[in-house]
Structure 1
Amino acid sequence: MDREALEAALADRYGADEGAVRVVARQARDLADSGMIASDFGYPLGVEQVLTNLDDAPDEYALVERWNWWIGSLDVSHGGYERFRVRPDVVE
């Protein structure tokens, strides 16, 4: 996954601050590198897949909330995704 492309897309689509964009992009890259999405769903994780899934979160959610909403859904349905959750206190 192209982390720079993801960072640009996240900033553009969600208007999030630099800290939130950076930490979500880092976690997305780690998730992609883990191969879990490919294993569980049969496709590699890319920028468009991240954006599509984050778009499914409630409209009033900020970027980190959207990310955690999606990760929580993955963890409930497949297990093992909690480690990719973003703790709000680490967003600078």
Structure 2
Amino acid sequence: MDPTTLEATLRTEFEAGERAAHVVARQARDLTDSGRFEADFGHELTVTVVVSNLHDAPDEYALIERWNWWLGALELSHGEYEQFRIRPGTV
């Protein structure tokens, strides 16, 4: 997954600020590099997969809240995703 493409897509799709989009794209890259998502789901993490899952979050959530919402669901269903959440003070 190209984090630059993801970052630009996140800014457009979710009307996110540059910093928030950058932090989410960085976490997505770390998740990709870990191999965890591909091992759990049998396919690579792509821009399309990230955007699709973030669209499932409640409409009133901002980008980082959407990311953490999705990672929380992954944590509940598969475990070991907590490390990819974005903590307060990161942005």
* 8 Å contact from structure 1 (residues 64, 88) kept in 2: no
Q: CA deviation at 1:87?
A: 1.0
User: 1:1-92 alignment to 2 at 5 Å?
Assistant: 1-91=1-91
RMSD: 0.6
Q: TM-score normalised to the size of structure 1?
A: 0.97
Number of residue pairs matched by the alignment = 91
Q: Which amino acid aligns with 2:11?
A: A
In structure 1, the gaps of 5 or more residues are none
TM-score (norm 2): 0.98
Separation of aligned partners in 1, 2:40 and 2:55: 20
Percent of aligned positions with the same letter in both sequences? 60
* 1:89 Cα deviation from its structure 2 partner: 1.4
Q: Which runs of no fewer than 5 residues in structure 2 stay unpaired?
A: none
Q: CA deviation at 1:88?
A: 2.8
Which portions of structure 1, spanning 4 or more consecutive aligned residues, are displaced by more than 2 angstroms? none
